[in-house]
């Protein structure tokens, strides 16, 4: 099964060394300018969709550096990207990739990263991302222009989105409404629908819940925030695209069997007042039926969502995730270990 499947709708693992994915941080970001006076973030909070790379259409060179310093000769291409600037000074950066091995096999994987941004004087925005990376983008009324190195420029176009969805990054809830079990279960059972509504800036409660009431279990090394009265979901959406099945000569039944053989285990532990970690408790995972659906970037898929739903007292917690998969049609077996931090506030 492909890497998207194995590491989940987005197995966005920052620095997946065991999985042989390139480091998500590019080899060299354009240096930021000297610090200038900070102005309000509210005027620049918006969602932007990648439209051009160096003035040309997608797919494009990938900003993870693949093709320049890739380990095994696999070609990685960027199919699409979305960056969202929130009014609280955080941002989310989501990428969809296609990889082609030297043997001609293709697979897709998605990645998402969280960071902070600062609006500087004029049209400049400084982005502080994973692994202590810092870069600078330029804003206009309708675009977000992000240079990677000297000769690589990504141009995003502003897209309509409900203002309330820009208040806070995913995993941080607004004070207006707590997350309920109904919210979590709607995300569990309609993940692709929620993803589509969220990307389109829908005013629906499902789109709001998608932002506020769930986190992805692939967010290795990152911290997500909920409130002690929230019922929230932590999940992985596992899937095969129809394009991949056709290229590998796999039937839907074979793809489902491959997904079924994938093992996902999740444990949760509190961080104690003395700084030590409490006992890990395995979390039972709900599993949806295998469904045919339409991914908003990758097209038709067969998929299953696996997730746990919980509510926790205020405090700090660690979520430990283990994912393993079998060899399938020339794609190797493997495993991944992930740690996500939870901060539950009063």
Q: What is the pLDDT of residues 152-205, one digit of tens each?
A: 888 998 887 655 555 555 544 344 468 899 999 999 998 888 888 777 666 678
Is residue 208 within 8 Å of 164, Cβ to Cβ?
Answer: yes
* CA distances, 28 to each of 53, 135, 339 (Å): 17, 10, 26
Q: Say what the pLDDT of residue 282 is.
A: 97
Q: Say what the pLDDT of residue 202 is.
A: 66
Q: Say what the pLDDT of residue 2 is.
A: 37
Q: Say what the pLDDT of residue 184 is.
A: 92
Q: Which residues, listed in sequence order, are joined to residue 293 by a DSSP beta bridge?
A: 301
DSSP annotation of 196 reads: H
Report the C-alpha dihedral over residues 196, 198, 202, 204, rounded to 10 degrees.
100
Q: Say what the pLDDT of residue 18 is.
A: 29
Q: Say what the pLDDT of residue 284 is.
A: 96
> How confident is the model over 257-270, as pLDDT tens digits?
999 999 999 999 99
Is residue 181 within 8 Å of 189, Cβ to Cβ?
Answer: no
Residues of the chain with pLDDT under 50: 1-40, 65-71, 171-176
Q: Say what the pLDDT of residue 316 is.
A: 92
* CA distances, 91 to each of 31, 47, 212, 318 (Å): 19, 10, 14, 22
């Amino acid at each position: 099964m492909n890497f998207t499947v194995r590491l989940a709708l987005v197995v966005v693992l920052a620095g997946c060394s065991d999985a042989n994915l390139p480091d998500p941080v590019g080899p060299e970001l354009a240096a930021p300018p000297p610090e200038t006076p900070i102005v309000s973030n509210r005027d620049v909070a918006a969602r932007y969709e990648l439209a051009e790379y160096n003035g040309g259409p997608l797919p494009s060179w990938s900003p993870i550096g693949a093709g320049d310093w890739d380990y095994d000769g696999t070609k990685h291409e960027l199919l699409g990207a979305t960056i969202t600037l929130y009014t609280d000074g955080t941002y989310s950066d989501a990428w969809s990739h296609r990889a082609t091995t030297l043997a001609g096999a293709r697979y897709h994987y998605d990645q998402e990263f969280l960071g902070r941004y600062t609006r500087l004087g004029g049209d400049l925005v400084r982005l502080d991302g994973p692994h202590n990376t810092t870069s600078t983008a330029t804003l206009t009324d309708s675009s977000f222009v992000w240079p990677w190195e000297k000769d690589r420029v990504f141009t995003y176009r502003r897209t309509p989105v409900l203002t309330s969805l820009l208040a806070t990054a995913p995993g941080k809830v607004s004070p207006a409404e707590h997350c309920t079990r109904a919210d979590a279960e709607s995300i569990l059972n309609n993940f692709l629908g929620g993803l589509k509504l969220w990307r389109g800036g829908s005013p629906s409660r499902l789109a709001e819940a998608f932002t506020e009431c769930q986190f992805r279990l692939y967010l290795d090394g990152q911290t997500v925030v909920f409130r002690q009265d929230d019922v929230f979901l932590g999940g992985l959406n596992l899937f095969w695209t129809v394009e991949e099945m056709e290229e590998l000569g796999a039937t839907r039944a074979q793809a489902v069997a491959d997904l079924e053989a994938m093992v996902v285990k999740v444990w949760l532990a509190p961080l104690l007042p003395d700084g030590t970690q409490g006992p890990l408790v395995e979390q039972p995972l709900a599993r949806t039926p295998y469904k045919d659906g339409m991914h908003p970037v990758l097209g038709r898929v067969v998929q299953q969502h696996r997730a746990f739903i919980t509510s926790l007292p205020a405090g700090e917690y660690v979520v430990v995730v283990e994912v393993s998969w079998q060899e399938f049609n020339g794609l190797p077996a493997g495993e991944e270990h992930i740690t996500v931090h939870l901060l539950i506030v009063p």
